[in-house]
């Protein structure tokens, strides 16, 4: 089993002030979009990830470093 650990993601509930705060501390310089997380989930469900197990994939633009 694997898991995805998302960072700050704009799902319509994050206000402009919180986006500015998050952008300042995320090394990639932006908050995530739902597609960023979805792409990671699709990868883990794909044949290419067939030998990956027991991992937590940080999808956070470097926020968790």
pLDDT reported for residue 19: 96
| Integer CA distances (angstroms), 23 to 11, 16, 18, 31, 33, in order | 15, 10, 8, 6, 13
Q: pLDDT tens digit string along 22-37?
A: 999 999 999 999 999 9
What's the distance, CA 14 to chain centroid? 15
User: Residues 1-16, buried b or exposed e (16+ Cβ, 10 A)?
Assistant: eeebebbbbeeeeeee
Q: How far apart are CA 23 and CA 27, in angstroms?
A: 8
Rounded to an integer, the average pLDDT of 11-28 is: 95
Confidence of residue 65 (pLDDT cuts 50, 70, 90): confident
């Amino acid at each position: 089993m694997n898991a995805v650990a998302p960072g700050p993601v704009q799902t319509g509930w994050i206000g402009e002030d919180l986006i500015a705060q998050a952008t300042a501390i995320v090394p990639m310089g932006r908050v995530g979009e739902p597609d960023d997380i979805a792409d990671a989930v699709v990868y883990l469900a794909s044949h290419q990830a067939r030998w990956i197990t027991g991992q937590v994939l940080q999808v956070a633009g470097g926020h968790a470093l």
